[in-house]
A and B are shown apart, each in its own frame.
Chain A
Amino acid sequence: MSDPVTFTVNGRKETVASEPDTPLLFVLRNELKLTGPRMGCGMAQCGACAVLLDGEEIRTCVTPLSYAAGKQVVTIEGLPAVWAAQKGLSASESAAPLHPVQQAWIDEQVPQCGYCQSGMMIAAVQLLAKNPNPTVAQIKDAFTNTPPSPHLCRCGTYSAIIDAVQRAAQAMKGAAR
Chain B
Amino acid sequence: MTQREATALPATISRRGFVKTGGALFVSLAIPARFAARAAAAENTSSSIDPTTVASWLEIRSDNTIVARTGRTETGVGITGYYPQTIAEELNVRPETITLIMGDTDRTPDGGYSAGFLFGMNNVRKVAAYTYQTLLGLASTQLGVPVSSLNVADGVISGGGKKMSYGELVQGQHLELKIPVKGALPQPDPNGWVGMSSLDGITVQGDPPMKAIADFKVIGKSFPAGHIPDKITGKTEWSCDVTLPGMLHARMVRPETLGSTLVSAGVIDKKQFPSAQVVQKGNLLAVVSPNEWEAVQAALSVAGSTKWNDWFGLPGSENVTKAIRDYKWEKPSESKGKAAETTAALQSAIRKISTAYEQGYVRHAPIGPFVAVADVKSDGSVTIWTHSAQSQGLRARIAYMLGVPVDKVVVRWMDQSGQYGRTTLGGDGAEADAVILSQLTGKPVRVQWTLQEDLAWSTVSPAWVSDLSAALDEKGHIIALHSAQYSPHMFDPRPLGALLAGMPTATSKPGNFLATEWAYDKIGNRLEDAYGMPNLAADSPNGGLRGNIMRTPGQRQQNFALEGLMNEAAAMAGADPIEYRLAHTTDERMIHLLHATAKAANWETRPSPHRGARHTGSTPVKGRGMCLMIRENAYWVGIAEVSVVPNSGEVKVTRFTIGGEPGKIINPRQLDRCMKSGVVMGLSEALKEEVTFDKSKVTSTNWSRYKILTMEEMPEIQVVQVSRDDKGFGGGSEAANALVPPAVSAAIHDATGVCPRKLPMNPANISALLKTKSPKA
Write the residues of chain A forming the contact surface with B, with a CB cutoff of 8 angstroms: 18-19, 21-23, 26, 29-30, 34-36, 38-43, 45-46, 48, 75-77, 80, 98, 102, 105-106, 109-118, 121, 139-141, 143-145, 149-162
Answer whether A19 and B703 are a contact pair too, CB < 8 Å, given A113-B415, A155-B76, A157-B673.
no
Cβ-defined contact, A112 with B241, below 8 A? no
Question: What is the distance, in angstroms, from B704's C-beta to the closest C-beta of chain A?
Answer: 7
Task: Give which listed residue, A29, A34, A39, A158, contacts B680 with CB less than 8 A.
Answer: A158
Question: What is the distance, in angstroms, from A160's C-beta to the closest C-beta of chain B?
Answer: 6
Residues from chain A with Cβ under 8 Å of B702 in the complex: 41, 43, 45
Answer whether A115 and B711 are a contact pair too, CB < 8 Å, given A106-B232, A154-B681.
no
Tell me, yes or no, whether B365 is within 8 Å of chain A by CB: yes
Tell me, yes or no, whether B343 is within 8 Å of chain A by CB: no
Question: What is the distance, in angstroms, from A116's C-beta to the closest C-beta of chain B?
Answer: 5
Task: Give which listed residue, B77, B238, B451, B709, contacts A38 with CB less than 8 A.
Answer: B238
Residues from chain A with Cβ under 8 Å of B76 in the complex: 111-114, 155
Residues from chain B with Cβ under 8 Å of A41 in the complex: 367, 451, 702-703
Residues from chain A with Cβ under 8 Å of B448 in the complex: 39
Tell me, yes or no, whether B264 is within 8 Å of chain A by CB: no
Q: What string of 1s and 0s marks CB contacts (under 8 Å) between B702-719 and chain A?
A: 111000111111100100
Residues from chain B with Cβ under 8 Å of A158 in the complex: 677, 680, 709, 711, 714
Task: Give which listed residue, B228, B669, B684, B712, contacts A141 with CB less than 8 A.
Answer: B712
Cβ-defined contact, B232 with A39, below 8 A? no
Tell me, yes or no, whether B293 is within 8 Å of chain A by CB: yes
Residues from chain A with Cβ under 8 Å of B415 in the complex: 113-114
Question: What is the distance, in angstroms, from A28's C-beta to the closest C-beta of chain B?
Answer: 11
In the complex, A156 Cα to B229 Cα: how many Å? 19
Tell me, yes or no, whether B369 is within 8 Å of chain A by CB: yes
6 nearest CB pairs, A to B: A156-B680, A156-B677, A112-B76, A113-B418, A144-B712, A113-B76
16 A-B pairs within 8 Å (CB atoms) are namely A35-B238, A38-B240, A40-B367, A40-B369, A41-B451, A48-B368, A77-B233, A114-B231, A115-B416, A117-B232, A139-B711, A140-B712, A149-B703, A154-B417, A156-B709, A159-B714
In the complex, A159 Cα to B711 Cα: how many Å? 8
A157 closest partner in B (C-beta): B677
Write the residues of chain B forming the contact surface with A, with a CB cutoff of 8 angstroms: 75-78, 222, 224-225, 227-229, 231-234, 236-238, 240-241, 243, 292-293, 365-369, 371, 415-418, 420, 448, 450-451, 669-670, 673-674, 676-681, 684, 702-704, 708-714, 717
In the complex, A153 Cα to B368 Cα: how many Å? 10
Question: What is the distance, in angstroms, from B292's C-beta to the closest C-beta of chain A?
Answer: 5
Given contact pairs A40-B368, A102-B233, A151-B711, enumerate 9 new A-B contacts (beta carbons under 8 Å). Answer: A43-B451, A76-B232, A77-B233, A106-B224, A111-B232, A114-B76, A158-B714, A159-B677, A161-B711
B703 closest partner in A (C-beta): A45
Residues from chain A with Cβ under 8 Å of B674 in the complex: 112
Cβ-defined contact, B710 with A46, below 8 A? no
Answer whether A117 and B711 are a contact pair too, CB < 8 Å, given A106-B224, A157-B677.
no
In the complex, A19 Cα to B78 Cα: how many Å? 41
Cβ-defined contact, B417 with A112, below 8 A? no
Question: What is the distance, in angstroms, from B485's C-beta to the closest C-beta of chain A?
Answer: 26
Answer whether A109 and B717 are a contact pair too, CB < 8 Å, given A42-B451, A116-B367, A155-B418.
no
Task: Give which listed residue, A48, A76, A139, contacts B367 with CB less than 8 A.
Answer: A48
Cβ-defined contact, B712 with A113, below 8 A? no
Cβ-defined contact, A121 with B232, below 8 A? yes
B77 closest partner in A (C-beta): A112
Answer whether A46 and B712 are a contact pair too, CB < 8 Å, given A22-B293, A26-B292, A117-B232.
no
* Residue of A41, A118, A157 with most chain B CB atoms under a 10 A cut-off: A41
In the complex, A43 Cα to B236 Cα: how many Å? 25
Cβ-defined contact, B418 with A112, below 8 A? yes
In the complex, A8 Cα to B234 Cα: how many Å? 18
In the complex, A150 Cα to B523 Cα: how many Å? 46
B223 closest partner in A (C-beta): A109
B448 closest partner in A (C-beta): A39
Residues from chain B with Cβ under 8 Å of A118 in the complex: 234
Residues from chain B with Cβ under 8 Å of A76 in the complex: 232-234
Cβ-defined contact, A154 with B234, below 8 A? no
Question: What is the distance, in angstroms, from B165's C-beta to the closest C-beta of chain A?
Answer: 29
Residues from chain A with Cβ under 8 Å of B679 in the complex: 156
Answer whether A140 and B228 are a contact pair too, CB < 8 Å, given A38-B238, A115-B417, A154-B681.
no
In the complex, A153 Cα to B420 Cα: how many Å? 13
Task: Give which listed residue, B243, B368, B676, contacts A160 with CB less than 8 A.
Answer: B676
Residues from chain B with Cβ under 8 Å of A80 in the complex: 233
Question: What is the distance, in angstroms, from B239's C-beta to the closest C-beta of chain A?
Answer: 10
In the complex, A144 Cα to B707 Cα: how many Å? 13
Cβ-defined contact, B420 with A154, below 8 A? yes
Cβ-defined contact, B233 with A98, below 8 A? yes
Residues from chain A with Cβ under 8 Å of B233 in the complex: 76-77, 80, 98, 102
Task: Give which listed residue, A34, A77, A156, contacts B678 with CB less than 8 A.
Answer: A156
Question: What is the distance, in angstroms, from B453's C-beta to the closest C-beta of chain A?
Answer: 10
Question: What is the distance, in angstroms, from A67's C-beta to the closest C-beta of chain B?
Answer: 15
Answer whether A156 and B676 are a contact pair too, CB < 8 Å, given A48-B367, A106-B229, A144-B710.
yes
Answer whether A114 and B228 are a contact pair too, CB < 8 Å, given A18-B293, A154-B420, A160-B673.
yes
Question: What is the distance, in angstroms, from B75's C-beta to the closest C-beta of chain A?
Answer: 7
Answer whether A150 and B710 are a contact pair too, CB < 8 Å, given A45-B704, A75-B234, A115-B368.
yes
Residues from chain B with Cβ under 8 Å of A115 in the complex: 238, 366-368, 416-418
Cβ-defined contact, B369 with A143, below 8 A? no
Question: What is the distance, in angstroms, from B221's C-beta to the closest C-beta of chain A?
Answer: 13
Question: What is the distance, in angstroms, from A91's C-beta to the closest C-beta of chain B?
Answer: 18
Residues from chain B with Cβ under 8 Å of A139 in the complex: 711
Residues from chain A with Cβ under 8 Å of B238 in the complex: 35, 38, 115
Task: Give which listed residue, A36, A39, A159, contacts B676 with CB less than 8 A.
Answer: A159
Cβ-defined contact, B677 with A160, below 8 A? yes
* Residue of B228, B674, B676 with most chain A CB atoms under a 10 A cut-off: B228
Question: What is the distance, in angstroms, from B231's C-beta to the closest C-beta of chain A?
Answer: 4
In the complex, A29 Cα to B416 Cα: how many Å? 15
Question: What is the distance, in angstroms, from B428's C-beta to the closest C-beta of chain A?
Answer: 16
Question: What is the distance, in angstroms, from A99's C-beta to the closest C-beta of chain B?
Answer: 9
In the complex, A111 Cα to B229 Cα: how many Å? 9
A36 closest partner in B (C-beta): B234
Question: What is the distance, in angstroms, from A159's C-beta to the closest C-beta of chain B?
Answer: 4
* Residue of B702, B711, B717 with most chain A CB atoms under a 10 A cut-off: B711
Answer whether A102 and B232 are a contact pair too, CB < 8 Å, given A113-B418, A156-B709.
yes
Residues from chain B with Cβ under 8 Å of A152 in the complex: 367, 703, 708, 710
Cβ-defined contact, B680 with A159, below 8 A? yes
Residues from chain A with Cβ under 8 Å of B684 in the complex: 156
In the complex, A109 Cα to B222 Cα: how many Å? 10
In the complex, A121 Cα to B75 Cα: how many Å? 21
In the complex, A105 Cα to B228 Cα: how many Å? 9
Question: What is the distance, in angstroms, from B10's C-beta to the closest C-beta of chain A?
Answer: 38
Cβ-defined contact, B231 with A117, below 8 A? yes
Cβ-defined contact, A35 with B420, below 8 A? no
Residues from chain A with Cβ under 8 Å of B229 in the complex: 106
Residues from chain A with Cβ under 8 Å of B240 in the complex: 35, 38-39
In the complex, A159 Cα to B240 Cα: how many Å? 27
B451 closest partner in A (C-beta): A41
Residues from chain B with Cβ under 8 Å of A29 in the complex: 241
Residues from chain B with Cβ under 8 Å of A98 in the complex: 232-233
Residues from chain A with Cβ under 8 Å of B243 in the complex: 30
In the complex, A38 Cα to B371 Cα: how many Å? 12
In the complex, A157 Cα to B367 Cα: how many Å? 13
Residues from chain A with Cβ under 8 Å of B714 in the complex: 140, 158-159
Cβ-defined contact, A109 with B367, below 8 A? no
Residues from chain B with Cβ under 8 Å of A36 in the complex: 234
